[in-house]
Amino acid sequence: MKVQCICPIGIGNYLMCYPAFHFLKKKKPDCSLHLIALRHSIGALAQGDPLWDSIETFDPDKIKRDVKKGISIIARLRAMHCDASLCFFPSNTWQYFSVPFLSGISRRYAFKYDKKKFSSLSFLCNNPLKVDLGLHDIDQNIKLVEFFLQENYTEAQKVFPKQYDDADLAWATAYCESEAPGKRRIAVHPGSSVEHGMDVKRWSADRFGLLCDKICKKMSAHAFVLGSPDEDELKRAMAQSMKENAHIVETVSIKKTAALLSQCSLALCNDSGIMHMAACLDIPTIGIFGPTDEKRNGPYGKKNIVVRKPMQGFPLWTAANVGDRGIAIGIDPKASLNALTVDDAWDQIEPWLEKIVCN
C-alpha cells in the first residue's frame, strides 16, 4: 500500500505529526509512505529519514501563482498511484483538500473542521474525522492514524525524528566550546514565523532579554540566541538588553540548529518551530504564549512550562476555529503578551527552574 502523508506548514507541525507517522509505519511496515512537505525546511529535516520512500517539497502559496509548476507537481503525485492520503492537523484550507483529490487518490482521510466548510473544499475528503477539541496536536494526529488503521495507539512513549547527524553534532560541540568553554548554556529564540501575521506570537525583545538575564544568573549560564536571517535585528535587540553573557548565533541549517539545541540545558522561546525542536529533543523548554493555544501546541512533555498572562478571550486561536485567523474588531492579538511583565514570567518560571533544572 502507498500512502500520501500531507504535513501542515511549519517545522513544529512536522514534529507534531511525527509520532503519528511512526505509528503508521510500525503497524504497517510494508506500507510505502510519501511525504508532502509544504515548506523546504520540513523537507530538509525529513531528508534521509528511512521512514520516507519519497519527499515532495513545494510551497502551495507559490504554485498557485505558477500554473505550469502546479500541473507538473500534480502529474508527479498522480504517477505515484497512492492508495490513500492522510492530511494531518491543522489543515483547513482548499490546498490541503484539493491535493489528494487531484492526485487521483480514492481513500482520502482528513479532519472535519467547524470553520470554512465550503471555501476549504473539505467536501473533497471522503473519510472525515471530527476534531477533538481537547487534544494536543500530537494526539490529534495520532487519532487520524488510528481512524485510518482502525487500531488504537498503545505506544508507551512517543517517537520523534532524529533532528541532526554526527557531523552537525561535532560542529555544535566545537562551536559551543569555542564561545563558552565549560559553561552551562541556554538556547533562546525571541522570534517566530511571520507567515499569516504570526509575528503577533512574539513577546518583546527587551523583555525576553531581561527574563533571560534572570535565568542566566540563576543558572550561571550563557545565552545562545537563535533565529532565522529575518530575525537578526530581533536577536541583536534582545542581546543588547542583557547584562549576562549572550552569543548571537548566525543562521545555520535546521539540523545544525537542532544539534546546537542539544548542547543546551534549557530553551526559552516564543511559540515557534525552535520551541518544538527543543521540546522534542527532551530539553526543558519554556514557551511564552499569547494568542495561540498551549493546550493545542504547547511544548510537549512533562519537563516543560508554558508562561502566559491570563486574559479574557485568550487564547484567540484554538482547535475550534482552525482555518479562521480572523480577529474581532477591537481585539489586539498581542494584548496578553503586552500585559505579561518580566516579573510575571519570572514568578512562574523560578519555582519550575528550581525543580527541573537547578537540582
Same domain flag for 302 and 343? yes
**146 alpha-carbon distance from chain centroid:** 22
Instruction: Give which of 277, 290, 268 is closest to 218, Cα–Cα.
Output: 268
Is residue 155, in this structure, part of any structural domain at all?
Answer: no
Task: Output the pTM of the full model.
Answer: 0.95
Q: What is the pLDDT of residue 359?
A: 60
Q: What is the pLDDT of residue 32?
A: 98
- Report yes or no: 33 and 51 within 8 Å, Cβ to Cβ: yes
As a whole number of angstroms, the distance between CA 270 and CA 191 comes to 7
- End residue of a domain, out of 118, 149, 180: 149
Q: In total, how many domains does the chain have? A: 2
Same domain flag for 223 and 339? yes
Same domain flag for 142 and 174? no
Q: What is the pLDDT of residue 340?
A: 98
CATH code for position 208? 3.40.50.2000
C-alpha angle with apex 14: 294 to 184, nearest 5 degrees? 70
Return averaged pLDDT per consecutive 10 residues of the chain, 359 residues in all: 95 97 97 95 94 92 78 94 98 93 97 91 96 96 98 93 97 97 96 86 97 96 95 96 96 96 97 97 97 96 95 94 84 96 98 82
Is residue 156, in this structure, part of any structural domain at all?
Answer: no
Same domain flag for 92 and 225? no
Q: What is the pLDDT of residue 190?
A: 97
Is residue 126, in this structure, part of any structural domain at all?
Answer: yes
Same domain flag for 211 and 281? yes
Is residue 197, in this structure, part of any structural domain at all?
Answer: yes
Q: What is the pLDDT of residue 358?
A: 61
Same domain flag for 114 and 224? no
Instruction: Give which of 195, 194, 251, 232 is closest to 62, Cα–Cα.
Output: 195
* Domain of residue 187, residue span: 166-356
Is residue 158, in this structure, part of any structural domain at all?
Answer: no
Same domain flag for 176 and 139? no
Q: What is the pLDDT of residue 68?
A: 85
- End residue of a domain, out of 100, 117, 149: 149
